[in-house]
């Protein structure tokens, strides 16, 4: 029956849809409860994937719940689910404020007795008085519209419940949890056949532009959304639209209308009884009206990035070219964030840009709190790199995976110029990128790749850059030997008096290397009867012979576990060469 249901789909599945469906079925069949994020652009077939998951749950004798953020979207899902499941023994029902008290009471009883297979609804689905006989799957549509409290309530509804969250632009916290492996993620990037990218225009508020946009849509028999997110002034705006385009049939929709009135408005617009719908952002989620292919968003600078992207996704859901006009006030100076949002929308006009938009939102707003209530926020306190590595480590521990070997993190200070000058790489971001690559290199081959890339892109590197790469190579050697710190210091040492006077040794300042071994490593060698020279990578006997041979020059090994080694020259090349030679001497044969 599952195959029969899937064959009844009116379109050909895209490759991404097939992969997502396979992932979800595998999750549902495993003993672990599913927690998957389905990220797909508006109109890319996420609902069909959810329908197949719901059908599978019902086939296994479980109930499925579909949670939507608005009554309008719940109603639209209800209509499409009823149509899709019409030829199958599946009972689909809807609970929302479109249902009166008597109908709601009846639905509660039927859900508790298991007579409803799939229940679609708004936050009402999360009410404590609503009980399911055997809930197996919860689908959360437009997840970014729900607060953290709601999402935690979903988890408490049943510990062994499968959860599928769907979103075109997940909030930063959700996306980040998926990217670091706390949640599974499936991405639908393939556009449906004949789908065209939406033409996005950012412009100052202009009556002529509004008139032209609506008239162009009317000429091809289409419909227009006009989004104005202020209920107090929405009637004035609607009057202005009627004045600009007298031939257009205009209707108003917002969340403060009585339920029956709002339902009537939406149905009438869906049935093409009106040409222009002047509405608040209540239309943001899920409305699927193929004839509506122009959207005008007033005061676009007041909307969030994901919200604007969702609003734009209400159009372009057929094979017609769609237009999105983002209007900003002519006299107001935009904030930096608002400007970046609008330019991002203009830049990401191509098909399947939802994931890129969400990634930019993560960058603009920060990832938020993984365990607390904040859905966005910056991690400046510890730095993003540190934060993600700590998070990865915690996730690995929770998964029971082996820890990666700890990074020794040798600190090196040789007192020579090790830097990338702006005269060599002018762009700051590229310089930082190269620093990061050199610092993160794990083998000499990695450093060789960086050198080859530098030569290829910027020409022969100057001495300071070559020193930086050489210092990177020394760091790798030090890490292998268990060295925690390598410093060059000007140190006062005592040398034997050439006149043979032992009571008056000569004191002089000499350039010396101070090598401190890692504490854990030093403990190991002392337990082995060594001298605190580091871990097993350093041969203690060889090191002591080396120190005694060079004692007259000032070489010594202090009780604190520091090797002091004299240098013959302060020139950069000589310092690097002598340090390299010493580290080679310390390496076991």
352 pLDDT above the threshold of 80: no
Radius of gyration of the chain (CA): 34
At residue 242, the pLDDT reads 96
Q: What is d(CA 183, CA 179) in angstroms, rounded to the nearest whole number?
A: 8
More confident residue, 451 or 569: 451
Q: For the chain, give the percent of residues with pLDDT over 90.
A: 29
Question: Which candidate, 4, 8, 3, 1, places its Cα nearest to that of 84?
Answer: 8
Do residue 211 and residue 179 come from a single domain?
no
Residue 21 has pLDDT above 90, yes or no: yes
Does residue 373 carry a pLDDT above 70? no
Per-residue pLDDT of 123-154, as tens digits, reads: 888 888 889 999 999 998 877 667 667 766 76
pLDDT at 186 over 70: yes
Residue at 82 is within a domain = yes
Higher-pLDDT residue of 339, 502: 339
Instruction: Work out the pLDDT band at 372, boundaries 50, 70, 90.
Output: very low
Tokens 């994901």 map to which residue?
306
Q: What is the CATH number of the domain that holds 22?
A: 3.40.50.300
Structural domain ending residue among the three candidates 188, 219, 247:
188
Question: For position 191, what pLDDT does the model report?
Answer: 74
Predicted confidence at residue 359, as pLDDT, reads 54
Domain annotation covers residue 366: no
For residue 314, tell me if it sits in a domain: yes
Question: pLDDT value at position 532?
Answer: 40
Verify that 181 and 212 share a domain, yes or no: no
Q: Are residues 254 and 340 in the same domain?
A: yes
Domain boundary among 188, 222, 245: 188
Final residue of a structural domain among 328, 350, 372: 350
Report if residue 176 sits inside a domain.
Answer: yes
Least confident residue range of 64-78, 159-173, 427-441: 159-173
If asked whether residues 184 and 209 sit together in one domain, one would say: no
Lowest mean pLDDT of 145-159, 324-338, 506-520, 526-540, name the range. Answer: 526-540
Cα separation, 357 vs 146, in Å, equals: 19
Domain carrying residue 300: 199-350
How many domains are there within the chain? 3
pLDDT (tens digit per residue) in 188-218 = 877 777 677 788 888 899 999 999 999 999 9
Domain annotation covers residue 315 = yes
Give the residue with greater pLDDT, 146 vs 112. Answer: 112
Query: Same domain for 422 and 466?
Result: yes
The band of 175, judged by pLDDT with boundaries at 50, 70 and 90, is low
Between 273 and 262, name the one with better pLDDT. Answer: 273
Local confidence band at 536 (pLDDT 50, 70, 90 cut-offs): very low
DSSP state of 419: -
Same domain flag for 547 and 469: yes
- What pLDDT was estimated at residue 18? 93
In terms of domains, do 435 and 554 share one? yes
Q: Which residues are CB-neighbours of 339 under 8 A, at least 6 positions away?
A: none
pLDDT at residue number 565: 87
CB 225 within 8 A of CB 277: yes
According to the model, what pLDDT value does residue 210 have?
95
Same domain, residue pair 204 and 171: no
- Residue keyed to tokens 């760091």: 475
The DSSP line for 474-538 is: HHHHHHHHTEEEEEEEEEEEEE--TTS-SSS-EEEEEEEEEEEE-HHHHHHHHHTT--S--STTS
- Which residues, listed in sequence order, are joined to residue 167 by a DSSP beta bridge? 39
569 or 333: whose pLDDT is higher? 569
**Is residue 377 in some structural domain?**
no
What pLDDT, on a 0 to 100 scale, did the predictor assign at position 500? Answer: 58
Secondary structure of the chain: what % helix, strand, coil (to 5)? 45, 15, 40
Average pLDDT, the chain: 80
Angle of helix 354-365 versus helix 336-347 axis, rounded to 10: 160
More confident residue, 366 or 526: 366
CATH number at residue 576: 3.90.1150.50
How many Å apart are CA 121 and CA 81, to the nearest integer? 12
- C-alpha span between 581 and 589 (Å, rounded): 14
405: confidence class by pLDDT, cuts 50, 70, 90: low
Instruction: Note the pLDDT of residue 45.
Output: 84
pLDDT at 380: 46
- Please check whether residues 80 and 163 belong to one and the same domain: yes
pLDDT given at position 305: 72
Higher pLDDT, 26 or 548: 26
Whether 37 is in a domain gets the answer yes
132 within domain boundaries: yes
Residues 346 and 278 in one domain: yes
Q: Residue 449 and residue 429: Cα distance in Å, rounded? A: 19
Q: Are residues 140 and 253 in the same domain?
A: no
Check whether residue 417 and residue 541 sit in a common domain.
Answer: yes
pLDDT of the residue at 506: 64
């Amino acid at each position: 029956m599952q195959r029969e249901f899937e064959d009844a789909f009116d379109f050909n599945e895209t490759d991404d849809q097939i992969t997502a469906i396979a992932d979800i079925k595998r999750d549902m069949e495993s003993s672990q409860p599913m927690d998957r994020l389905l990220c797909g652009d508006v109109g890319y077939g996420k609902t069909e994937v959810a329908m197949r998951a719901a059908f599978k749950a019902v086939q296994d004798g479980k109930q499925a719940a579909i949670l939507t953020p608005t009554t309008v979207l719940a109603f639209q899902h209800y209509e499409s689910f009823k149509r899709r499941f019409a030829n199958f023994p599946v009972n689909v029902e809807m609970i929302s404020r479109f249902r009166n008290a008597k109908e709601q009471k009846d639905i509660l009883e039927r859900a508790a007795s298991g007579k409803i297979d799939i229940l679609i609804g708004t936050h009402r689905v999360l009410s404590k008085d609503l009980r399911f006989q055997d809930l197996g799957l919860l689908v959360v549509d437009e997840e970014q519209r729900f607060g953290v409290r709601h999402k935690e309530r979903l988890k408490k509804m049943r510990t062994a419940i499968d959860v599928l969250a769907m979103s075109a632009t997940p909030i930063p916290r959700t996306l980040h949890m998926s990217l670091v492996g706390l949640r599974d993620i499936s991405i639908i990037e393939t556009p449906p056949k004949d789908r065209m990218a939406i033409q996005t225009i950012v412009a100052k508020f202009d009556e002529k532009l509004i008139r032209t946009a609506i008239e162009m849509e009317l000429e091809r028999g289409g419909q227009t959304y006009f989004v104005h997110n202020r209920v107090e002034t929405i009637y004035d705006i609607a009057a202005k639209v009627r004045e600009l385009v007298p031939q257009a049939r205009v209707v108003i929709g917002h969340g403060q209308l009585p339920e029956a009135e709002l339902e009537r408005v939406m149905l009438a617009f869906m049935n093409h009884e009106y040409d222009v719908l002047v509405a608040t952002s209540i239309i943001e989620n899920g409305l699927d009206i193929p004839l509506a292919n122009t959207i005008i968003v007033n005061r676009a600078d007041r909307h969030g990035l994901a919200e604007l992207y969702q609003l734009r996704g209400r159009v372009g859901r057929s094979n017609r070219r769609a237009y999105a006009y983002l209007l900003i006030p002519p006299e107001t100076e935009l904030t930096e964030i608002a400007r970046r949002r609008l330019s991002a929308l203009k830049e990401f006009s191509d098909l399947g840009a939802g994931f890129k938009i969400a990634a930019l939102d993560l960058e603009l707003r920060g990832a938020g709190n993984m365990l607390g209530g904040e859905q966005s926020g910056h991690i400046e306190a510890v730095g993003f790199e540190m934060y993600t590595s700590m998070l990865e480590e915690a996730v690995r521990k929770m998964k029971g995976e082996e820890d990666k070997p700890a990074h020794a993190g040798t600190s090196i200070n040789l007192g020579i110029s090790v830097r990338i000058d702006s005269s060599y790489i002018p762009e700051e971001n590229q310089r930082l990128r190269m620093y990061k690559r050199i610092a993160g290199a794990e083998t000499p081959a990695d450093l060789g790749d960086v050198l080859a890339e530098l030569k290829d892109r910027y020409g022969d590197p100057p001495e300071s850059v070559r020193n930086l790469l050489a210092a990177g190579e020394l760091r790798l050697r030090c890490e292998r030997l268990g060295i925690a710190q390598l410093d060059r210091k000007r140190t006062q040492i005592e040398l034997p008096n050439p006149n043979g006077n032992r009571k008056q040794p000569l004191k002089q300042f000499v350039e010396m290397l101070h090598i401190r071994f890692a504490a854990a490593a030093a403990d190991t060698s002392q337990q082995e009867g060594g001298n605190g020279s580091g871990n097993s990578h350093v041969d203690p006997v060889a090191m002591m012979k080396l120190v005694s041979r060079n004692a007259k020059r000032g070489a010594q090994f202090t009780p604190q576990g520091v090797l002091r080694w004299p240098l013959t020259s302060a020139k950069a090349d000589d310092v690097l060469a002598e340090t390299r030679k010493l580290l080679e001497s310390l390496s076991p044969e």
